[in-house]
Amino acid sequence: MYPLKRNRRLRTSSAIRSLVQETAISPNDFLVPLFVVEGKTIKEEITSMPDYYRLSLDNLEKEVKELWQMGLKAILLFVKVPDTLKDNKGTEVLNENGLMQRAIKTVKNACPGMLVMTDVAFDPYSSFGHDGIVAEGRILNDETTELLAEMSVSHAKAGADFVAPSDMMDGRILAIREALEDEGFTDTGIMSYSAKYASAFYGPFRDALDSAPVDIKNVPKDKKTYQMDFSNRFEAIRETEMDIDEGADIVMIKPGLCYLDIVREIRNEVDVPVAVYQVSGEYAMVKAAAERGWLDHDAVMMEQLTAIKRAGANIIASYFAKDAVQLLG
């Protein structure tokens, strides 16, 4: 009771504030997304994601070595597939010498200790820009799931430590887990995008990979038949629990800031690690506002990252990872 208890006593100096701080960010919190392209000596800035780049394999090698020296120990790989290799059958996803497979090997050869997670999704390879096979105006679930399972095995053979299915097809976690077990990859983990919402925040990412749905007759114009309705809360818990039952080792909520209530709900319900993806639109907004002098880039960045961890995230996939770690010193 006031005045016997004065809460401000614990805020009187930076020393006491640090001593009683409940949430702290460290390099161990981060999963670093990396975009890979064909070619050599390519470090191409993504227009809608300032200070973030598409990297050819030689520059990917340099990047992972730098990340490791900074204390960043986990990456999430995405590939930008040439249009000539895209189709509606997933032909390229199983190419043992495909860009993703070569990227995995490049990282492991350059930095064996780096934890490599791979994006398991059809959209970078799809001529329609969808996460599944398209037929008669529908995204086929079971046929896509079979392909995702084969894709996961291909990534595991190349050396991936974890596969990260981001497609939101029903039953794909069980199919992937069974396929990995059948091929002897019992130690290969699955980080499932369990609650991935149909969000407007993905635009810059789709620019980075040229993976937006195409505007063609009889093809869905968005991903709302498989990604979740952002109005829904309990559905996220149901989706996540099902993924855990099917064999997911880590579950993910995507995007981040607008969904911190979902992060806390899921953290309270499950006993596996929870990841959050702070997505490209969230990154781009901070960069754009900071460029105009409307906010303090570093202060807002750290406030957002701390909020995500405070909400319950064990892992934060973020384009701010290097910026944050450099700021932490």
Distance CA 55, CA 36 (A): 5
**CA distances (Å), 101 to each of 36, 72, 73, 81, 173, in order?**
11, 22, 19, 12, 21
CB burial class (10 A; 0-12, 13-18, 19+) of residue 305?
Answer: buried
CB burial class (10 A; 0-12, 13-18, 19+) of residue 136?
Answer: exposed
Position 241, amino acid: E
Position 19, amino acid: L
Three-state SS for 68? Answer: helix
Q: What are phi and psi of 56, to 5 degrees?
A: -75, 170
Distance CA 88, CA 268 (A): 39
Position 149, amino acid: A
The four Cα atoms 253, 119, 152, 31 give a dihedral, to 10 degrees, of -70
Among residues 196, 223, 287, 309, the one annotated as catalytic is 196
Q: What are phi and psi of 89, to 5 degrees?
A: -120, -10
Among residues 86, 254, 309, 322, the one annotated as catalytic is 254
Residue 214 backbone zone (phi > 0: left; psi -120 to 50: alpha; other: beta): beta
Quick one: which H or E segment has residue 204?
helix 203-209
Whether 196 is catalytic:
yes
In this structure, are residues 127 and 87 in contact, taking their beta carbons and an 8 Å threshold? yes
Residues labelled as active-site residues: 196, 254
